[in-house]
Structure 1
Amino acid sequence: MDSPHEQHRGSNISLPERAYRIRRNALRMGEVQGQGYIGQALGVADILAVSYFYALRYKPEDPEWEDRDRFCLSIGHYAIALYSALIEAGILPEFELETYGTDDSRLPMSGMVTYTPGMEITGGSLGHGLGICVGMCLGLKRKKSSSLVYNLMSDGELGEGSTWEAAMSAAHHGLDNLIAIVDFNNQQADGPSTQMLSSEPITDKFAAFGWFVQRVDGNDIDAVRDAFDQARSHKGKQPRVVICDTTMCKGVPFLETREITHFVRVEPDEWEKALKVLDEGRPQ
C-alpha cells in the first residue's frame, strides 16, 4: 500500500534514519531536564518513524487539517517520544526541544492537548485513550470521513477495565477506522507488567473481543510497516490492533541493560555518552 506521507510530502530519508533522529531528539530533551521517560522514547522510536513517515496522512504546516489522520498518545508520560517525532516531522520547530519541561514551554513533561500542536489528546490517567479514540472514530464516521485514528497505548493500560470496555465498544460499532498500537515493553513503575497484572494471551483476548490482531517486533521497522499496511488494508468491518514487543532504551546498549528502565536515572556525564553511542550506531 502506498504511504500517505510519501504521497503528500515526498522524502528520500530512510525510516531507520528517521528513527535514529527521533531517538536523538529525545536524548537531547532528556538532557535539558536531566531526566525523563527516555526508555520509552527510545523503545517506540521505530513505531513513531513508521507512523509519521510512512502511514499517517497530515500536513505539518496545518496540524488541525480536517482530513488528517489522528495520532493519539494515550500514554501521556511518553510525551517526550511524541515531541521528538513532531519535531522530526516539522510540526514543531527543533529549537523548542531546549525548552522541554520548563515554565511556559509548549512541551510539558506530560502531554497535554492545549499546549502542543500535533497533540490530539491529553494522556492523563492511563486507560482513557482508547475510549477517547472510539468517540473520535464514531464522530469521523458520522462525518463520512476517510481519516484513520491511531492510538498508541501501553501494555500497562491493558490492566485497566476502561480499556476493555472501549475495546468491546469499538468492535460493537465496527470501527474499521481505528488502529490501536500497544507498546509491549513489559515495564511498569512497580515492575514487569506481566507480573503486576498479566494481560496474556493478548492476541487471543483482542481477537475474542472482535478485533483484527497482529503481533510483531516493534523494533523491526519492516515488520511494523508491513503490519500497518495489513491493518490499513484489512477488509473486515472491525477495529485493528498491532501489538509491538519493544526493548526499553533501544539503541543505547548501556541503558538497555539497566535493571530499572521505566524511569531511567541518567547521570549528568552519561547524556553525552548516550548520544555518542547512538551516533556510532547511526544507519548508513
Structure 2
Amino acid sequence: MTQTLSNVSLAQRAWNIRRKALLMGEVQGQGYIGQALGVADVLATAYFHAMDYRAEDPEWEGRDRFYLSIGHYAIALYAALMEAGILPDDELATYGMDDSRMPMSGMASYTPGMEITGGSLGQGLGIAVGAALGLKRKKNPAFIFNLMSDGELGEGSTWEAVMSATQWQLDNLICVVDFNNQQADGPSRNALAVGAEAPKWQAFGWHAQEVDGNDMDALVAAFDAARALKDPKPRVIICNTTMCKGVDFLEAREITHFVRVEADEWAKALEKLDEGKPQ
C-alpha cells in the first residue's frame, strides 16, 4: 500500500473513526451518526488495508478512488479522511459550519479526498462505472471503490449501472454496499430489498460476497478476494452492519436512520465508546 504503514490496528482505526464522527456530531448537535458508527469498520478496512493512496497528494493519478454515493454519510468519510491524514484533525470543530471544508452532505468541490458529490442517491455507481471505464482506457491500474447504501438497491439507475459494469468487464470496480436495513421510511427489507442480495448481483454477472460488516477479519478477507480476483468482472461486497455500532444505548433505538441524540447524550456516547476501546 502507498499509505504510510504503522502498528495501529484496524480495530483501533475503526474506533478512531467512530470517535471523530461523534465529536463532529456533537459540534452540530446532529448528524447521520448511526451510519457513521455502523460503517466505521468498512472504512477502516478500505483506507488502511485495501486502498492505495497518498495522504499528502489526494489527487495523485495512481490512487485508488473512493466514491461516496451516499452523500449523507459524509460525516463518516470525513472521520476516515482525518484518520488517514488527508484532512487535518483541527478542522473537526468546523463540521457543518459556514466556509467549512466539511459540509453536512459531501461535495467534491469542498473537500480533499471527496471524489464525487453524492447527494442524489442512486447515482454513485453509475459515476463509478464511467470512471472505471475511463481508467481502463487510460491503462491506469487503479481501482474504483464505490460505497452505496441498501436503500440505493431500490433505484433503477443502480441496476442500469450494474448491467453496464458487466458489459464493460470492469474488473477494476469494487462496489461496497452498507446493508444496515434502515431507510428514512423504515426497514430496507420492507421496501425493495427482499431476498438474499448476493445472488441478485451474481445473476447480473458480478463476483459477489456477503459478509458481516462489523467483523474486521471477514472484511479483510473480502477486500483481499475482491482485489485479487482474476476474472474479468466487477465485484461487490455486501456488508451487513449494525447502526450505531459501539454505543449500546443508541443501537437499541427503534429509529436510527437519523438517530436523535440529546444534548446530554453526546458525552455519554463517547464514554460508552471509550469502554470498548481496542487494546
- TM, length-normalised to structure 1: 0.97
Q: In structure 2, the residue corresponding to 1:71 is in which secondary structure?
A: strand
Residue by residue over 1:229-273, the C-alpha shift from the partner in whole angstroms, topping out at 9 and shown as x without a partner, is 000001110000000000000000010000100001000110000
- Residue 83 of structure 1 is matched in structure 2 by 78
- The aligned runs of 1:240-279 (5 Å cut-off) are 240-279=235-274
Q: One-letter code of the match for 2:161? A: A
> 1:197 Cα shift?
1.8
- Residue 122 of structure 2 is matched in structure 1 by 127
**Does residue 64 of the first structure (1) align with residue 39 of the second (2)?**
no
The answer to whether the 8 Å contact 1:159/1:199 transfers is: no
Instruction: Extract structure 1 runs of 4+ deviating beyond 2 A.
Output: 198-201
> 1:199 Cα shift?
4.4
Q: In structure 2, the residue corresponding to 1:139 is in which secondary structure?
A: helix
Q: In structure 2, the residue corresponding to 1:109 is in which secondary structure?
A: coil
The answer to whether the 8 Å contact 1:131/1:162 transfers is: yes
- Residue 41 of structure 2 is matched in structure 1 by 46
Q: In structure 2, the residue corresponding to 1:255 is in which secondary structure?
A: helix
Q: Distance in 2 between matches of 1:243 and 1:181?
A: 6
Q: Distance in 2 between matches of 1:99 and 1:51?
A: 25
**Does residue 29 of the first structure (1) align with residue 13 of the second (2)?**
no
Q: One-letter code of the match for 1:100? A: Y
Q: Distance in 1 between matches of 2:274 and 2:187?
A: 29
> 1:198 Cα shift?
2.2
- Residue 143 of structure 2 is matched in structure 1 by 148
- The aligned runs of 1:1-284 (5 Å cut-off) are 4-5=1-2, 8-284=3-279
Q: Distance in 2 between matches of 1:102 and 1:9?
A: 31
Q: Distance in 2 between matches of 1:75 and 1:221?
A: 22
Q: One-letter code of the match for 1:143? A: K
Q: Distance in 1 between matches of 2:16 and 2:126?
A: 31
Gaps of 5+ in 2: none
Compared with structure 1, are the counterparts of its residues 32 and 130 closer, same or farther at alpha carbon in structure 2 (3 Å cutoff)? same
Residue by residue over 1:177-217, the C-alpha shift from the partner in whole angstroms, topping out at 9 and shown as x without a partner, is 00000000000000001102224221111000000000000
Aligned residues: 279
Q: In structure 2, the residue corresponding to 1:28 is in which secondary structure?
A: helix
% same residue: 71
Residue by residue over 1:52-104, the C-alpha shift from the partner in whole angstroms, topping out at 9 and shown as x without a partner, is 11111000010000000000000000000000000000000001110000001
